[in-house]
Chains A and B, each alone.
Chain A
């Protein structure tokens, strides 16, 4: 029975993840269009019905599936094929550690809305995100094309440098919520600060949040930090890919956006916590109370998680359509000379503050 429950959770989480990924491609087109006073893709239709181009992702997917699966003769075939799958797998597995909601009681058993609630959940996600480098590096190397190789090396250099800032920016947060278990981090964000402010990570670790946001944006390899791809100069590590394999790389990008959004939500914006919502309803700091049914509370919490994730997806797409690309030295400057020292400052300051309080 436990296995069935886990399987159901896996399927639901993957469906949520992939559907959101599909529709992020749509959102990216539409949002960029709205930002630039255009309309965006709205022609894809089924029997003449086109609701705002919502069928566009399916049209794209069908096109990609029916393209020729081409492997260049000069490439290293096994690695060339392996790379996109590695890239995809290491991102897709991250969703397993994300808490979607509070535990629910169903038929006498407690089910956590999370597939894998390990003691090292946070480290697991960071490790899997880092392993994604292998996909990029392998694709660059196995393509046997010098531009692809340049892209792959750039990607590896960028991701490794920003991995440092990413990890260090979270140390302060782990000191505040003393746990690496994502569900516990979310639980401990349920309290109140000064009696009215929700005790979210962003209020306890504002500097950590900003550093994490920048480092995480660099991890997604999208425009302000898209040195590995570099459309206008080297076209990037997936030059020699086409059809569905290229599609896997593209989907990996969008899935990384979602993973980064879920991480931002879980760590800094209280995960599924709704401000002032307790297990049996709202308890406002000014004294009011609003009783809610148990199931309604859970629905609200899952909804809150989703809304926060959508907001951060929106924000990342906005950022992608606002800024031009960093030059390579600027990128390294930002990483090593600004984000890493700042995150070290953050750790020291957090430690001192915690010592003073205790």
Chain B
């Protein structure tokens, strides 16, 4: 009985903490309701589709392929990204380029986003800096699998 009485003070302390959170947050919510700007907000929530948080500069988002000066893809079909990809989602078919300095260009370059795990190894492996993951596009969900297969046109965009 004495032990249980000892809990009592702790119980009151606990409820005072939650009550304090309630009162403080309600105060800031009320100020916001009346249009008064405050440094603190009543809630830490970011309401996603309407408000978006700035992504970190190293954030890995949807891939894109970079172009040369003459608007052809920088990719030389060296297959390094295909080799390094752990989820085997990149498919590249090489074709001969008339320019002897370049030798090869990708006739097809497909990334299957339904398999991609966004590890960024392809970006690390690329010797030509032809692929990057800096589009900051993260809402990639689609309703069909076909829409998740990104080909050369979509990636160059």
Binding site for B on A (CB under 8 A): 31, 33-39, 318-319, 321-323, 333-334, 337-338, 341
Contacts and interface: CB of A to CB of B under 8 A. Distances in A.
23 contacts: A33-B43, A34-B25, A34-B42, A34-B43, A35-B18, A35-B22, A35-B25, A37-B21, A37-B43, A38-B43, A39-B45, A39-B47, A318-B15, A318-B19, A318-B22, A321-B18, A322-B14, A322-B15, A322-B18, A323-B11, A323-B15, A338-B1, A341-B1
Contacts of A37: 21, 25, 42-44
A281 to B, nearest CB: 32
Interface in B1-54: 1, 4-5, 11, 14-15, 17-19, 21-22, 25-26, 29, 42-45, 47
A204 to B, nearest CB: 21
Nearest to B46: A39
Main secondary structure of the interface of B (DSSP, over half): helix
Given A37-B44, A322-B14, 13 more contacts: A34-B21, A34-B22, A34-B29, A34-B42, A35-B18, A35-B25, A37-B42, A319-B15, A322-B17, A323-B11, A323-B15, A337-B4, A338-B1
B6 to A, nearest CB: 11
Contacts, number: 46
Contacts of A341: 1
B44 A337 contact: no
B18 to A, nearest CB: 4
A322 B11 CA distance: 9
Contact of A333 (B4, B17, B43): B4
B4 A338 contact: yes
Nearest to B43: A39
Nearest to B21: A35
A36 B24 CA distance: 11
Contacts of B42: 34, 37
A335 to B, nearest CB: 10
Contacts of B11: 323
Nearest to B33: A52
B9 to A, nearest CB: 13
Contacts of A31: 22
Contact of A38 (B5, B17, B44): B44
A37 B22 CA distance: 8
Contact of A36 (B5, B14, B21, B29): B21
Given A37-B44, A38-B44, A38-B45, A337 B21 contact: no
A337 B47 CA distance: 48
A322 B19 CA distance: 9
Nearest to A33: B43
A321 B17 CA distance: 11
A333 B4 CA distance: 8
Nearest to A42: B47
Contacts of B22: 31, 34-35, 318
A333 B21 CA distance: 31
Contacts of A33: 43
A36 B44 CA distance: 9
